Each structure stands twice: as C-alpha cells, then as structure tokens.
C-alpha cells in the first residue's frame, strides 16, 4: 500500500467537498490509502464514493456561514484542532490536503505533516489577479489592484496567525512567510484565469476538479422533458447562497412571466417550500451538467463549478454572488464575456472587503432586487451568440487540463520529494 493521505475539506456547502473528493478518488485509484475527514451530517450525500469517509467535529450543525465569526474564538479553534489531531495520531499521514478547513493547517503544523492547500486563485496567500470589471485604464487598474492585494494580505496574515498560534500551546513555533512558502498549492483553474500575484509559491494549476458522483445522481423523470425553447431557466444558489426567500420569489416571478423554471435548492430550501406550478420543477439536487444542456440560461450564485458547467454547455449565466470568492469568479466571468454579474457595491462594502467583515460581505446577494435579476436575464438571452462564442473558446482551453489527473500528479511529485 502506498502512503496515507488525509483530506480536510470545509463541510459547509458542497464545492470544497466535491473538488477535494475528485482528487481523493484519483489518488485512491492510484492505490494510495486515502482518508477523507467529513462530518457525518454530510456523508450521506457522498455515500457512493470509493474513498473512506471518517467522522470529524463539524464547523457548524447545519450549513450556514455563521461559523465564520467563530474562527476568532480560541476555544472553537482549540476544540477543532484537538479533533483533527486525533486523526493525525490514528492514521499517521504522509501528507495532508486541506481545502479551507483552516484549523487543519495548525494540526498539520503541530504534527510536522507536509501540506497541500487546495484553493481557488483568490484564496492563495498573496491573492491573484483582480478582474477589471469597470474597464479602468490598465495603469490605474494595476495600481489599484496592488493596493488592494497589500491590504488583503495584511488581513490574511492576521487570519493565519490566529490559526498557527494554536501550535504554540503544543510547543510548536512558526515563521509565517516560511510556512506559506513551504506549503504546496493546487488551484482548480487554468493559469490564465486568475494568475497568481507572486511567483515564490509552488502552485499547480490543474483545471476543473469535478466529482463524477453528481453525474450519477438519479435525475427526476421530468428532466428528460425539459428542452430549450427560449424561455427555460435553471436557478441554483448552490450550497452557500443563503437567501431562501429570494430563491423562492425569483422562481415564482419568472414562472409568472412565462418562463419554464428548474430549481436545485440544495440546503438553501426544501422543494416543498415552493408553490406548485406546471412550469416550475424543483429538486434538492440535480445533475448540473445535464441540466445546463437543457436550458436557455442559468441564474446562479457565482459558484465556479456551476458556471463552468454552463460554459461547457454554452449556456449564458446571470451571476448573483453571495460571498467574496463567488464575487471574484462572477466578476472574472463577466470580464471574459462568459456571464453577466449583477451586484451592488458602495464604499462601505469595499471597506468590508479590506477588513474581512463577514456580516456585511455575506449580505451582497440578498440586496439585489428581483427586477434587476429578471432584467439581466432578458439581456443575456438577447445576447446568446455573444456569450456562446466566448464560452466555446474558453471551454476549448479548459479541455486541455485534466483536473483530477494533473492534481494527483502534483501530489505524487510532492510525496516523492519528501
């Protein structure tokens, strides 16, 4: 048996789990002993995986972003680090792969376990390219981006210090610049999508990491009857667009305007929360890749995975971001003519970004009026050819990258060096 690899994805939503699982299954196929730490409350959704799932203390009892303020609570951090250290002691991994379960950074550091951090470009320590959404002159945009990145790095440093400080109670000192440089990074994007700011990190851009298990979901009988007719729309807020009322109101409004509406409500709502209508089809989870092929447009939360499914299907997107990561992707897709991003940004919100004030940041999607969303939908439907051309070109570039295979190659390369 090859060495043991221990995965620590954030369990809130689906994206962190599914992309980590895509890599975990490829490593399992290559005969590594893969252990995937996931709270029991989320394991049922991924029960058909070939990877061994083990329980771990959850960050939250239900899916919400209410855990974020807790990341400043020393007792919360210590409790979760203790839970993780038990797994390190039991399985003695040669490598830890961490996807935003940040306490695991401290646990791996305490146990001297090499780390691969799985992250989008924006989550890298020094950040990545900031989209020029407002089409500013290049010199001005570059200067502004530099200032923003420096401010964000100051906030990220405080954030990382908070976690690594836990190790000091175990007699483990740390040097933050050295710690950041020693880690390896896997980014599930192509290099030109969100280029990294600094070149002193070891980064593998691997393309999309997509778990095949969702494609195996049993689709509702009604899905086979859904066809593109110019007024068919797929709505999803993923697992982190926490705006239940907006999701229901948006679906109802579009049905009343004559659209055929398909909704994947995930953990945001229950199918029974929606009114019954002959042109409204709601399910908890749907095979997104199949759905995007059958609709004329997608309205989503700016989730990278959902928008990439739409790109492959050449289906235009209206993106309503609910958090900074979704905002970054939504702005970049808009800049590349792959989607239309709608948002309300003022000075107070910009200060929230710099301060990482989660309360204000997470309210952005809820503030968008329904009328603004429906207007944006009609706009992208009227410009389908424009979006289709850009999507085809981007999809061709993406197809050169075999995400799970390239990511597993990067993991093996690191293991062989240790």
**pLDDT 10s digit of each residue in the chain, 418 long?**
799 999 999 999 899 999 999 999 999 999 999 999 999 999 999 999 999 999 999 999 988 877 888 888 999 999 999 999 999 999 999 999 999 999 999 999 999 999 999 999 999 998 899 998 878 899 999 998 888 888 888 888 888 888 888 888 888 888 888 999 999 999 999 999 999 887 789 999 999 999 988 877 778 999 999 999 999 999 999 887 778 999 999 999 999 999 999 999 998 999 999 999 999 999 999 999 999 999 999 999 999 999 999 999 999 999 999 888 898 999 999 999 999 999 876 666 666 666 666 566 666 777 889 999 999 999 999 999 889 999 999 999 999 999 999 999 999 999 988 6
Residue spans of alpha helices (H) in 92-199:
103-110, 138-164, 176-182
How far is Cα 93 from Cα 279, in angstroms, rounded to an integer?
51
Same domain, 217 and 307: yes
Same domain, 102 and 244: no
Number of domains in the chain: 2
Same domain, 322 and 243: yes
Task: State the CATH number of the domain containing residue 43.
Answer: 3.40.50.2000
Q: Which helix (H) or strand (E) holds 333?
A: helix 324-335
Same domain, 149 and 9: yes
Tell me the residue range of the domain where 253 lies: 213-398
Same domain, 192 and 229: no
Contacting residues for 357 by C-beta, under 8 A, at least 6 apart: 351
How far is Cα 19 from Cα 17, in angstroms, rounded to an integer?
6
Same domain, 239 and 336: yes
Same domain, 203 and 229: no
How far is Cα 121 from Cα 329, in angstroms, rounded to an integer?
10
Q: What is the DSSP string of 245-268?
A: HHHHHHHHHHHHTT-EEEEE-TTT
Same domain, 245 and 160: no
Same domain, 185 and 303: no
How far is Cα 344 from Cα 369, in angstroms, rounded to an integer?
10
Same domain, 150 and 222: no
Which pTM does this prediction carry? Answer: 0.93
Same domain, 195 and 221: no
Same domain, 186 and 226: no
């Amino acid at each position: 048996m090859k060495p043991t690899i221990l995965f620590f994805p954030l369990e809130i939503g689906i994206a962190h789990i599914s992309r980590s699982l895509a890599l975990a299954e490829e490593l399992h196929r290559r005969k590594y002993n893969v252990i995937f730490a996931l709270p029991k409350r989320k394991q049922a959704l991924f029960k058909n995986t070939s990877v061994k799932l083990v329980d771990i203390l959850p960050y939250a009892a239900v899916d919400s972003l209410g855990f974020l303020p807790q990341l400043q609570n020393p007792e919360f951090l210590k409790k979760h680090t203790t839970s993780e250290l038990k797994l390190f002691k039991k399985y003695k991994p040669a490598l830890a792969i961490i996807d935003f379960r940040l306490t695991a950074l401290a646990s791996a550091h305490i146990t001297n376990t090499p780390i691969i951090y799985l992250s989008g470009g924006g989550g890298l320590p020094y950040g990545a390219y900031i989209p020029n959404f407002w089409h500013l002159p290049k010199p001005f945009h570059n200067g502004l981006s530099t200032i923003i990145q420096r401010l964000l790095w100051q906030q990220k440093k405080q954030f990382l210090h908070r976690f690594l400080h836990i190790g000091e109670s175990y007699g483990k000192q740390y040097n933050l610049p050295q710690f950041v440089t020693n880690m390896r990074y896997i980014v599930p994007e192509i290099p030109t999508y969100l280029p990294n700011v600094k070149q002193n990190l070891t980064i593998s851009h691997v393309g999309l990491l997509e778990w095949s298990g969702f494609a195996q979901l049993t689709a509702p009988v009604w899905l086979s009857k859904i066809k593109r007719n110019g007024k068919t729309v797929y709505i999803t807020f993923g697992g982190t667009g926490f705006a239940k009322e907006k999701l229901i109101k948006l679906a109802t409004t579009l049905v009343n305007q004559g659209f055929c509406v398909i909704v994947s409500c995930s953990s945001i709502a229950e199918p029974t929360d929606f009114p019954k209508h002959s042109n409204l089809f709601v399910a908890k989870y749907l095979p997104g890749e199949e759905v995007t092929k059958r609709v004329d447009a997608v309205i989503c939360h700016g989730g990278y995975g959902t928008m990439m499914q739409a790109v492959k299907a050449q289906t235009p997107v209206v993106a309503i971001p609910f958090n900074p990561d979704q905002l970054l992707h939504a702005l970049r897709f808009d800049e590349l003519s792959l989607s239309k991003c709608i948002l309300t940004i003022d000075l107070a919100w910009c200060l929230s970004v710099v301060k990482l004030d989660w309360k204000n940041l997470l309210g952005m999607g809820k503030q968008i009026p329904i009328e603004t969303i429906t207007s944006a939908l009609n706009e992208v439907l009227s410009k389908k050819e424009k979006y289709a051309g850009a999507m085809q070109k981007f999809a061709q570039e993406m197809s050169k990258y075999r995400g799970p295979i390239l990511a597993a190659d990067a993991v093996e390369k690191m293991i062989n060096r240790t």
